[in-house]
Amino acid sequence: MKKSVQILIVIGLLCAINRLSYAQTAKATISNDSKLIISKHIYGQFAEHLGRGIYDGFWVDKNMPVKKQDRIRLDIVEALKKIKIPNLRWPGGCFADEYHWRDGIGPRLSRPKMVNTNWGGVVEDNSFGTHEFLQLCNLLGCEPYISGNVGSGTVQEMSNWIEYLNFDGTSPMTAMRAQNGHPKPYNVTFWGVGNESWGCGGNMTPEYYSNEFRRYAAFAKNYPNATLKKIATGPSDADYNWTESLMKNVGTRMWGLALHHYTLPTGDWKDKGSATKFTREDYFKTMQNTLKMEELVTKHSAIMDKYDPNKKVALVVDEWGIWTNVEPGTNPGFLFQQNSLRDALIAGTNLNIFNNHCERVKMACLAQAVNVLQSLILTKKEKMVLTPTYHIFDMYKVHQDARLLPIKLDAPDFEMNGQKIPAINASASQDAAGKIHISFVNIDATKAIEVKADMGDMKWDTVDGQILTSANLTDINTFENPNKLKIAAFSGAKKSGNNVIVTLPAHSVVVLELK
Query: Catalytic positions, please?
Result: 196, 319
SS3 content of the chain, % helix, strand, coil (to 5): 30, 25, 40
φ, ψ of residue 357 to 5 degrees: the values are: -110, 30
The sheet carrying 488-490 orders its strands as 403-404, 424-430, 436-442, 508-514, 463-468, 488-490
Measured between alpha carbons, how far is residue 142 from residues 100, 295, 371, 471 in Å?
A: 23, 30, 20, 35
Amino acid, res. 443: I
How does DSSP assign 192-233, residue by residue? EE-S-TTTTTT---HHHHHHHHHHHHHTS--BTTB--EEEEE
> Which one, of 360, 123, 343, lies nearest residue 259 by Cα?
360
How does DSSP assign 330-384, residue by residue? S-GGG-----BHHHHHHHHHHHHHHHHTTTTEEEEEEE-SBSSSS-SEEEETTEE
CB 382 within 8 A of CB 322: no
CA-to-CA distance for 394 and 460, rounded, in angstroms? 23
Q: How many CB atoms lie within 10 A of CB 154?
A: 13
What single DSSP character describes residue 59? B
Angle at 415 between CA 413 and CA 417, to 5 degrees: 160
